[in-house]
Chain A
Amino acid sequence: MRSVTINGRIETLPDDPDALLTDVLRDQLGLTGTKLVCGAGVCGACTVLLDGVPVASCLMPATSAAGRAITTVEGIAAATLHPIQRAFMALDALQCGFCTPGFIVEAAAFHDNWRKAQGTTPPSREEIGAALSGHLCRCGAYDNILRAVADACSGRFDSETAAAPRVEARDKVTGDAKYTVDIRHEGQLDGLIVRSAIAHGKITALDLAPARALPGVMAAISLLADDGIVRYVGEPIAAVAARDHATAKLAAAAIGIACEPLPFVVGLDAARKPDAPLVFERSSRKKAANVSEGSPAPASWKQNVRGPSAAFSHKTKMVRGEVANATAANDPLLIKDVFRTAGQSHSCLEPHATVARFDGDHLTLHVSTQAVFHVMELIARRYKIGHDKVRVIADHVGGGFGSKGSLGIDTIAAIELARAAKAPVRVALDRHDELSVTGHRPGTELDIALLPSRDGKLKALSLTAWSDNGAGVNSTIAALARLIYPAEAKALTDFDVISNLPPGAPFRGPGGPPMAFALEQAVDEAALRLQLDPIKLRQRWDTDPNRQRLYDWAAGLETWRNAKPASSKSGRYRRGVGVASGYWLYLWQPGSKVELAIKAGRLIASTAIQDIGTGSRSVIANTVAREFGLDPQEVEVRIGDSILPVGPGSGGSRTTASVVPPTLLAIHQLKAIIESRAKQKPLPGSNAPWRELIAASADIKVSATRPEDSRNLAPGVRSPLKQAGFMGAVFGWMLRRFSNLAVGSGVPSSVQVIEVEVDTWLGHVRVLNVHTGIAVGKLAAPALARSQAAGSVIQGIGYALYEGREVDPLRGRILTAGLEDYRIPGIADTPNIDVHFDEAGFDHVLGGSVGIGEVATVPTSPAIANAVRNAIGVRATELPIRPDRLVALLSQRSVA
């Protein structure tokens, strides 16, 4: 027996030499503040102090902790919170919160050492970045983390307990916040999904008996589709539930699988060849996954290519003719290029996970999901049970980014295993699965031709997008170019390219970033050819009133005004400035309800929404608090539970615009009732009249449903779909009919001006300054909106510079299946981020607020690419702009 001191208590360590400290802390001791994410020492979520020194507990053999003292996040606070915890709370240095405990532990140790050595002199951003370089945050909360650590080191939070703009911040900085992976019921089993090791094959026999026969194995089930065919490495075949993870692994290995391999094809180029093996036979096409949020419109198939989908085109023949003529005439204004973008993995730090439990015929699930209510509906439909018999709970969700919007295989497996085993079951994907099979933004090839007229108007635009979907369909990329820069004619064609790779999934502004990467670079090139300022050209071509205001702001930025032409640059380090625009649709979910109650003198707002780190809890708390003159912390917000009134999914940037209007209606109703029933009016001069009235009120409950928007629109504001004519109307109708999403008027917009520095010797691009201008109406929770905007930029930097799914072309395996090879931005990659909000444009929406999550990331990659073009005089046509690509670009130029 070996013992260890953990947070001051003596505990016993297991003798198993393979037991790792993280697992002992989480599973044996219930200290779930310590998170397991990468399992490879890359991300830092598992960081604990070993005799006061931060270490990666996911790699540390538990036995080697014997005789030492361990401090977890639960032990960081003493009688009061640590200054670092206060700083993280006050400065909103967190979003989903899953990485937060690791950051807190490391930053607290850094703070304590710094203060001993340096007093209250604050450390630089570089010093903090280096010290925290072993931590990753997928939401991109880095900018505020840098501020929080610096301010805590300066002594600002030694005693001050500032209010946290994020209402659940305290639970997240102390490790108390419980995520799905932290749920542990009595007798809970560990479930594991058995997956295909080959890219294409027919499973001819599946023998679960050897698994079931093993001691400690409680269930083994098939997950095979009815045709028994697997179409990518990692496609689910079966699942097992056992008393612990090690036993589940043994059971998975014991399953007998007979398989007839089929010819397969990997990736965009191979799959387009006419003789490529077929991924989906005609009869199985419905099995293809959906990579977008809306339902697929009909399209033709030719072998592995689905399309063309070109409903948003306008005068296609004219485009073809103009481009052909311009090509024949060598028109210098014709811009033609081919751009390629890599697949981007969501990399949520909390994996896809479900804990399922039956109590009689009542099914209770904890799911790491972006849609508690919708997932409840899908489960009820799939298993033909009533809504009253299924409950989906998600108190905290460690990131989603689009990948957790539907009913996942983790949930299906957990339900079916729990039913078979007659015990609660947890299924949590590991990092390898998370980075390979839970969806991704598909890679693309984008063929663009853009033709200005002699008088500088936009005459014709052609964009053809080939989406590297894996075993999925329904990409919408080129079509999105219809709703920006009106032109005389546009030919916009989308193709799904299907191959034996894991299917893509919706990812933050699906289709938006690749479309913008091609279009915004083509517009930038047009400005160069027309010898016009790129912002001025956009002001000329872009008619949207929201972006027009943002262009005015951008044109006045010092960074922009100081930009120099590429021809003026030489030497090793070259700086460049780029601009790009982006938009997203303003979507809201009809039928969204919010209930507002006074219970025992306390205000409670409830809706079946969830908070995936975007701040929906705080949006509701702020809205209610503002109207009643209270502090947000005085409002209790109940979310993350499907038994609450129907709430929107956290996708399509819809949550704010779906819940703020009904919240305001409910507030209106509640105020009227309170006032009518009040026995006595507040004292004259009271500065918190509603607080007194609420405290004195009897219990009341009201609820309201999301109303339609006002038809009274400000000049220039209209539905973006109107630009797309009849097909736009059809699209809008379909989205509402089949996806319960309404497209509102007005266009959420973003314009970004970005400055980079290129190290031409080492092929390194560093983003120095980002100015992100955003028009999403009034801010329901301003501090959190800023956090979202900054995080969107960080994720966009990852897309632009570092992130790319790499595949083994001979086996169809994802090689970037760990966080050391799949490279998301680190804290030291954070530029200076200046966020500008233009709060006009959505007065027709009750409350005036729409969502920010997607629009804010759309322009980042083209703005960086345009800045790189401005720095080195060569255009980067491929994402990510890694060192290998950058040195190739530079050497091509010197050759030429």
Chain B
Amino acid sequence: MTDSATSAAISPTEFRAAGTDLSERRRSGVSRGPLIDLVRPAGAPDITWNENGAARISAFTTIATLAADAKLAAAYPGLAAAAAGLATPQIRHMATLGGNLAQRSRCWYFRDPHIACLKKGGDACPARNGNHLYGVAFDLGPCIAPHPSTMAAALLAYDATVTTNQRQHLGIAALLGDGSNGHADNLLAPGEVIESVDLDVPAAGERALYRRAISRSHAEWPLAEVVVRAVIADGTFKLARVAAGGIAPVPLQLEAAESVLRGAAANAATIDKAVAQSTVGANPLPMTGYKLDLLRGLMRDLLERIIA
């Protein structure tokens, strides 16, 4: 017996890399369309470095490789820390960077095959008037599920670009949108596949930290997560990039906090101001006000450690 709402479910063709997201949706029946397996070209390297020291990462690179690669961790420590902090070891060994960026929402309404929702072709978000304990605190569009990609948040902090089989050098915002499209988790066109990710040359002396707030110690989707990148010289922030996940339909660059930090003294007073500015633009739902507390807590934690 089926909820009448599910008849609206759509069945597009989906690409499959490792299948760590897709297999669960296939088993539950949320994904029913045709599959195209992505096959890694023989001998293709995971990470290539150009002569300036910038990395290009193949979309087939596993999350475990991102977390373990010593050169990558030295150049882009926020990226490596984010990779090490997501999912479980067994998932990280399989899951790919491309798949992580293109994964579907973890919303419990989306994952329930009996409930229609915007991302399944429905016309309303059932979480908004329902139970949205894990929903967004920055309500930017009709769907209120946070974007699931931790790597996208990290790449946003690094201004990384994504190259697909159709387009070159898309920023994370161009890849995932601004959160106003509740019908999709990304703006990839039909048939479009992520091929690689390009990072800029690391700034001299830059540091980065990543942390997620969860209820247990490990292996949990973030209630909120933050990546902070900074160059601190002569006691001031020369560079400050802050990206957050788990709080909005897309990873957010926390520009108000960044602008407090940039050029300011690396001290407690600056941190207080940046923490206060980290929730600018937030409009939490009835059940998600706590995410702003966690966001401020994460900001304070990371900023205190990054100036230490």
Contact = CB atoms under 8 A, between A and B. Distances in A.
A60 B216 contact: no
B2 A130 contact: no
A59 B20 contact: yes
A891 B293 contact: yes
Given A64-B19, A813-B114, A54 B93 contact: yes
B126 A808 contact: yes
A55 B93 contact: yes
B109 to A, nearest CB: 7
Interface stretch (A300-308, A708-716, A815-823): A815-823
Contacts of B215: 764, 801-802, 823, 880, 882-883
Given A56-B90, A810-B126, A764 B108 contact: no
B131 A41 contact: no
A760 to B, nearest CB: 8
Interface string B17-31: 011100110111000
Q: Which of B2, B35, B94 has the most CB of A within 10 A?
A: B94
B192 interface: no
A198 B129 contact: no
B131 A20 contact: no
Contact of B221 (A194, A763, A820): A820
Contacts of B298: 761-762
B84 to A, nearest CB: 9
B112 A807 contact: no
B213 interface: yes
Interface in B231-261: none
B131 A808 contact: yes
A40 B16 contact: no
A809 B109 CA distance: 12
A821 B108 contact: yes
Interface in A838-896: 880, 882-885, 887-888, 890-891
Given A17-B37, A106-B89, A41 B24 contact: yes
B3 interface: yes
Contacts, number: 181
B108 A18 contact: no
A42 B88 contact: yes
Contact of B294 (A50, A196, A763, A880): A763
Interface residues of A, number: 73
Interface in A743-798: 759-764, 766
Given A42-B88, A761-B300, A883-B213, A56 B130 contact: no
Nearest to A57: B90
Interface in B60-116: 87-91, 93-94, 106, 108-109, 111-112, 114-115
B280 interface: no
Q: For chain B, what secondary structure do more than half of its interface residues adopt (helix, strand, loop), or is it mixed? A: loop
Contact of A61 (B16, B289, B294): B16
B123 interface: no
A224 to B, nearest CB: 12
Contacts of B133: 806, 884
A811 B115 contact: yes
Given A20-B23, A41-B87, A883-B213, A828 B301 contact: no
Contact of A883 (B2, B131, B219, B290): B290
Nearest to B299: A761
Contacts of A58: 23
A237 interface: yes
B115 A809 contact: no
A826 B218 contact: yes
B283 to A, nearest CB: 17
B224 to A, nearest CB: 9
Contacts of B293: 763, 887, 890-891
A267 to B, nearest CB: 11
B223 interface: yes
Nearest to B28: A432
B68 to A, nearest CB: 11
Given A41-B87, A826-B216, A884-B290, A818 B111 contact: yes
A60 B94 CA distance: 8
Contacts of A809: 130-131
Given A763-B294, A817-B112, A810 B223 contact: no
Interface in A664-684: none
Contact of B217 (A129, A763, A806, A887): A129
A275 to B, nearest CB: 20
A532 B63 CA distance: 54
B290 A763 contact: yes
A54 B89 contact: yes
Contact of B18 (A60, A763, A810): A60
A824 to B, nearest CB: 9
B218 A197 contact: no
Interface string B26-60: 11100000010100000000000000000000000
A53 B213 CA distance: 28
Nearest to B19: A61
Nearest to B34: A17
A276 to B, nearest CB: 19
Contacts of B27: 20, 39
A808 B109 contact: yes
Given A60-B18, A820-B221, A47 B216 contact: no
B39 to A, nearest CB: 9
Contacts of A60: 18-19, 23, 94
A18 B115 CA distance: 23
A131 B89 contact: yes
Given A810-B126, A883-B223, A887-B293, A828 B217 contact: yes
B131 A134 contact: no
B272 interface: no
A259 interface: yes
A168 B282 CA distance: 56
A888 B290 contact: yes
Contacts of A764: 213-215
Interface string A245-262: 000000001010101000
A422 to B, nearest CB: 27
A178 B109 CA distance: 36
A811 B129 CA distance: 11
A64 B38 CA distance: 10
A825 interface: yes
B3 A826 contact: no
A44 interface: yes
Nearest to A252: B1
B290 A802 contact: no
Contacts of A762: 213, 294, 297-298, 301
A18 B19 CA distance: 10
A134 B108 contact: no
B93 A133 contact: no
Q: Which of B90, B94, B108 has the most CB of A within 10 A?
A: B90
Interface in A35-77: 39-42, 44, 47, 50, 53-56, 58-61, 63-64
Contacts of B217: 129, 133, 766, 826, 828-829
Nearest 6 interchain pairs by C-beta: A134-B88, A761-B297, A133-B218, A884-B290, A828-B217, A887-B293
Given A826-B217, A890-B293, 6 more contacts: A41-B87, A130-B218, A134-B91, A815-B109, A821-B134, A828-B216
27 contacts: A20-B27, A41-B20, A41-B91, A50-B93, A54-B90, A55-B90, A55-B93, A55-B94, A56-B88, A61-B16, A106-B89, A129-B217, A253-B2, A257-B1, A760-B297, A761-B298, A763-B297, A810-B126, A815-B108, A820-B220, A823-B215, A825-B216, A828-B217, A884-B223, A884-B290, A887-B290, A891-B293
Interface of B: 1-3, 16, 18-20, 23-24, 26-28, 35, 37, 87-91, 93-94, 106, 108-109, 111-112, 114-115, 126, 129-131, 133-134, 213-221, 223, 287, 289-291, 293-294, 296-298, 300-301
